[in-house]
Chain A
Amino acid sequence: MIPVVETRGLVKRYGEHLAVAGIDLTVGPGEIYGLVGPNGAGKTTTMKILATLLAPTAGEAYVTGIPVGADPLEVRRRIGYMPDFYGVYDDLRVWEYLDFFARCYGVPANRRPTMIAELLEIVNLGAKRDEYVESLSRGMRQRLCLAHTLVHDPALLILDEPASGLDPRARVEMREILRELRGMNKTILVSSHILPELGEMCTGVAIIDHGRVLRAGSITEIERSLRATALLRIDLLGDETAAAAATAWLGTAPGVGDVLPVESDDADRQRLEVTFDGPSEAQAELLRAMIEAGHRVVGYSQATSDLEEIFLAVTGQQEEEAA
């Protein structure tokens, strides 16, 4: 099967600055693929290259198998692009705005009215059809802009930070719409600098920083790969001597790295943070062995579980490696 998006060794250099330093991506049909990374990581540049708005310095990029440099106009017909910063034509009515873009994409006149009505339903702007764009709220404009990417029924949507600047409610709405689009068999490449925003709905994620892909795969795969060096949080019943005994025991256990006592909320309990190298089975084995050795474990959990921390862990690791 031909991937909808494929990049190989994509590089973009602005003078001295290396914005994209060799990005490889593969996004299959029907996926919602997230590009996550801090501002300036190279997400927007990558998306602009795919949207035929920028020429890469080196490397290859394909959309539905078409090299973006060879036939940009055909690529444009197959993608819907929503930039991170954009304006709207204030003085048009909502339907005129979509009609204008539909004409830009060469949608025949007889198909436009029904198509516009359907799109407005999808983005929940059906009631605003005859309003001026000027009168729409920020969230509505964002949804209108999303609708404009769909006028020519493209296979791929490239959405650059579609939820930025939205209030929580509008974010949820945007997420619902993206889910709906996925149901319509669209492939979506979406970027965000906030991982949790994407985590729930993405089938795949690439964590990007400094123009490089640090990790790529599904959220669970990334989590699992990170758990190889997980931070375990172990709560013990007892006083400091219990903690000291456990620390000594853990020092000899396989896979355990550093063991650090941490301030506990509860006076009866001692907390240890343990860096652990090994898969989930090894973690369970460690717990069993600890209990068998007589340590009174009351809490046993992995400290990095939330997506935000995954992101920090990945980008943090990268910095350590660089140092």
Chain B
Amino acid sequence: MTATAAPIGAPGLPRRAAMRDLLSGVGTIMSKELRSRMRGRRAFVVLTVYLGILALLTYGVYIIVAPNARASGMGLAAANASALVGQSIFAALSIFQLVLVCFIAPAFTAGQISLEREKQTLDLLVSTPMRPTAIVLGKLAAALAFVVLMIVAAVPIVAIVLMYGGATIGDIVRQQLVLLVTALALGAVGLFYSALLKRTQAATVLTYITMLALTLGTGLIFIFWTVVANQTDEPNLGAPRLAPEQVLWLNPGVAMLDVIAPAEPGGGNNLARALAELHGERTLFGGGEVRCDGDICQPVDVFGNPIGSGDTTGHWWPRVGLTYLVGAAILTFLATRLVVPAGMRWAFRRRHSGAAAATGVDGGGPAADTLPDNPTVEELEA
């Protein structure tokens, strides 16, 4: 891979025609992938089972929480009891769906390109005028289409929480966004490894290792980093010593907790306070409070006036989301460079170096030969 590699597009064509070419290519790959993926009953059985589990989970949360809410004697008004049910269901569904997405999205993409290599179909595909960008985007879109279907098909179940109250439509929209972006990013991770490695098995293993590193790994790193940072005799007068919060920008779990926080079951603000502390909201450590009003939680002083740097929720999910979108874009781009065999990457590069193209084949070869071909990975594979 070289940083100088030009994006793929046809400079000779007007941009609109190039875009139309790309979209039709994506559509071609996508329809082929979906044809083989959605054929038969399997996809529908999987979807039905998934929705069944979500429905059961919802019902399970209801029968556990509802009697407690009613009989808790905590002086909860009927509306509050209902909200507690809604919020509990929302939290349970959100976390459960996130875990599923983390496991399903990589499974759908980790074999996409390596399987073509293993089955020796990639050569036929890359010797057509189909652009690598279209191949990679088409594969990603096809793999994600089913994940998106699973996420979107569950919306009616998630929407049950609106009946009980306690969570808003805004909460649900944010929850859906976090799920979709997580699916996209983890899908891109799988696709990247699939393009990088020759064997599907290796790609799958590395994809799941990466997924675990992003979810559990970043959490552990944050904790250890913070612990180590506090191993000092110097008095800590100012802000708490924390690991850089950027570590947690990689964690979809933090994003989901951030989405759940305003609708924390029971209307408390422990989650919001914890999340605020994670990014070093100073006032909290002076014994401050967090008050939530609708979707927004803010630290307040003892008189209930907002203080500090601002919101405590809504801090994490946009940052995680943006990090994931950028990460997905980078990995997808790298995959487009890797999907083409080393020997023919020249074919696409040369098209953009106008002067070189005019000289014909001469001079193209040596450049292509010096192109690094991920030697470490191939050695590993060998």
Contact = CB atoms under 8 A, between A and B. Distances in A.
Contact of A69 (B25, B129, B341, B364): B364
Interface residues of A, number: 42
Given A71-B351, A72-B350, A104 B125 contact: yes
Given A70-B350, A91-B36, A106-B24, A52 B344 contact: yes
B365 interface: yes
A53 B39 CA distance: 32
B130 A104 contact: yes
Contacts of B123: 53, 83, 86
A69 B127 contact: no
Interface stretch (A24-32, A59-67, A175-183, A300-308): A59-67
B121 A88 contact: yes
B213 interface: no
B32 A53 contact: no
Nearest to A61: B361
A88 B362 CA distance: 34
A105 B132 CA distance: 14
Interface string B333-359: 000000001011011101100000110
Contacts, number: 117
Contacts of A103: 24, 28
Contacts of B368: 55
Nearest to A60: B361
Given A58-B365, A72-B351, A92-B35, A104 B346 contact: no
B350 A73 contact: no
Contact of B346 (A55, A58, A87): A55
Contact of A91 (B39, B127, B366): B39
A253 to B, nearest CB: 52
A88 B36 CA distance: 13
Interface string B362-378: 10111111000000000
Interface string B107-132: 00000000000011101111111100
Contacts of B121: 86-89
A177 to B, nearest CB: 18
Interface bracket on B: 35 or more
A100 B361 contact: no
B36 A86 contact: no
A105 B351 contact: no
B10 interface: yes
A70 B358 contact: yes
Mostly, the B contact residues are: helix
Contacts of B287: none
A149 to B, nearest CB: 9
A53 B127 contact: yes
Contact of B120 (A57, A59, A87): A87
B153 to A, nearest CB: 24
Contacts of A204: none
A57 B126 contact: no
Contact of A100 (B21, B28, B120): B28
B156 interface: no
A271 interface: no
Given A85-B120, A92-B36, A60 B360 contact: yes
Interface in A72-116: 72-73, 76-77, 81, 83, 85-92, 96, 100-101, 103-106
B361 A69 contact: yes
A91 B341 CA distance: 24
A56 B343 CA distance: 9
A68 interface: yes
A282 interface: no
14 contacts: A55-B343, A55-B344, A55-B368, A67-B361, A69-B364, A70-B357, A73-B10, A76-B129, A88-B121, A91-B36, A96-B35, A100-B28, A103-B28, A106-B129
Given A68-B361, A87-B119, 8 more contacts: A55-B344, A56-B365, A67-B361, A70-B350, A81-B127, A86-B121, A87-B124, A106-B21
**Which 8 A/B pairs are nearest by Cβ-Cβ distance?**
A87-B119, A72-B347, A69-B361, A55-B368, A87-B120, A67-B360, A91-B36, A104-B128
